[in-house]
Structures are given as structure tokens and as C-alpha cells.
A and B are shown apart, each in its own frame.
Chain A
Amino acid sequence: KAGVTQTPRYLIKTRGQQVTLSCSPISGHRSVSWYQQTPGQGLQFLFEYFSETQRNKGNFPGRFSGRQFSNSRSEMNVSTLELGDSALYLCASSRGQNTGELFFGEGSRLTVL
């Protein structure tokens, strides 16, 4: 059974640019959530999607957005990148909306120069 797949794994951007990250959940999982992980802040919740609808949103500025497609694949976008956006972005899938266990992808490591 394939796990959660995130692309790209690594990327380097400059300030002001935008970035789109992709996540394919485990087959049959309908919920996808996104987290930002930094050494200083730990794992911070960004948002959760279930059945193509954003169900929960964390305390991040509007530059961070996402969406989910009918096949449960999800993308997140960060516009007008800032140095502080450098982080590991983790996607996690679960069977239902915020129930049960989360299964994480390997993450997309973003470096903003």
C-alpha cells in the first residue's frame, strides 16, 4: 500500500516568489492536513481538507492557502515568500476528518533565500 507522497522533496526559492507543494494521500484516505515544522516552533497546523473543503485552519497569514481535488490529492501554496517561511512542510492523511491517526509524507523542505 503506497504511503503519502509529497512533491517536490526539496526546493529553493527567493523572497517574494511563490511556491506550490503537492500531496497525494494514502488510497482511501479522504482527509489531508498540512503542517509546518521548524526547529523553533515545532509542528504547526496549517489547514485540513476533507472532501475538497477546508475544515480547519491554523493561525497562519493568508499567504498560505491550499486546496483539495476530487481524488483527495491536495496542494498548498505560499505566495510572497519570506525568509521565515523556510521550513519542512509535512502533509498527513487520515481516513476521516480529524479522526484517527495521521500518516505523514516525507515532507517538502523549502529554503527561502
Chain B
Amino acid sequence: QKEVEQNSGPLSVPEGAIASLNCTYSDRGSQSFFWYRQYSGKSPELIMSIYSNGDKEDGRFTAQLNKASQYVSLLIRDSQPSDSATYLCAALLYGQNFVFGPGTRLSVLP
């Protein structure tokens, strides 16, 4: 059973702080990892993808992947109230379907 685990939260951080979102996955064969953001009542939207070990930065977002530890994280620097949403971690094993985690609800307090 392929699983992706996330802390459901809510994770509350003050505006301007760094929000750290974590995800673990069970299938060592997973090759690609994605972070989606979902605002309440909206559909998920892709914010980051990461395929190899290490860090990947895009603006205020940094994704980190450690395949040995089966761990993926997303850091949001200078958090803004508009970042308040549910963040979904997803793992993809090539040729198979995406497996999504339950999501972490982030609340950025003004």
C-alpha cells in the first residue's frame, strides 16, 4: 500500500515567518514529488515539483527531498496571509498513479 503522510495541522505561523511543511512516503520507488496548494473551495494548484535529492527554490518556496529518509518538505519564507491554505504533498511512481497525502492546513496570522 503506497502511502503519503502529512501532519494535518493546522499549522499556524505569524506573518513574515518561515512555514515548514513536511511529508513522508512509503514507496521507495517513488520518483517524483509535488506540492499542491488548495484554497478552501478551490481545486489544487501546483506550486513546486522536485525530482532529485536536495533543495529546489522558486521565489519564496523551497522544496527539499531526501530519498534515503523518504522525506519531502516545503519551506515558505516570509509567509503571507494569502499563503493560508491546505498544502498537499504527492508522490509519483513512474507508470503508476499519483498518491496524495491528506494535506496540511496552514494558517498565516497577520
A99 to B96, CA, bound (A): 9
Question: Which residue of the partner chain A has the closest CB to B95?
Answer: A98
Question: Which residue of the partner chain A has the closest CB to B1?
Answer: A59
Residues from chain B with Cβ under 8 Å of A45 in the complex: 97-100
Among A58, A101, A104, which residue has its beta carbon within 8 angstroms of that of B43? Answer: A104
B interface bracket (residues with beta carbon within 8 Å of A):
20 to 34
Does A98 lie within 8 Å of B92, measured CB to CB? yes
Residues from chain B with Cβ under 8 Å of A22 in the complex: none
Question: Which residue of the partner chain A has the closest CB to B6?
Answer: A42
Interface of B is mostly: strand
A interface bracket (residues with beta carbon within 8 Å of B):
20 to 34
Judged by a CB distance under 8 angstroms, whether A48 is at the interface is yes
Judged by a CB distance under 8 angstroms, whether A64 is at the interface is no
Does B94 lie within 8 Å of A42, measured CB to CB? no
A105 to B43, CA, bound (A): 7
- Contact indicator per residue, chain A 80-113, by CB within 8 Å of chain B (1) or not (0): 0000000000100000011111111111000000
A35 to B42, CA, bound (A): 14
Does B97 lie within 8 Å of A42, measured CB to CB? no
A106 to B97, CA, bound (A): 20
List 6 other contacts, CB 8 Å, given A45-B98, A90-B44, A102-B90.
Answer: A33-B98, A42-B103, A56-B97, A98-B98, A102-B34, A104-B36
Please list 5 pairs of residues, one from A and one from B, whose beta carbons are closer than 8 Å in the complex, sorted by A's number.
Answer: A43-B44, A90-B43, A102-B34, A104-B45, A106-B42
Q: Which residues of A contact B (CB under 8 A)?
A: 33, 35, 42-43, 45, 48, 56, 58, 90, 97-107
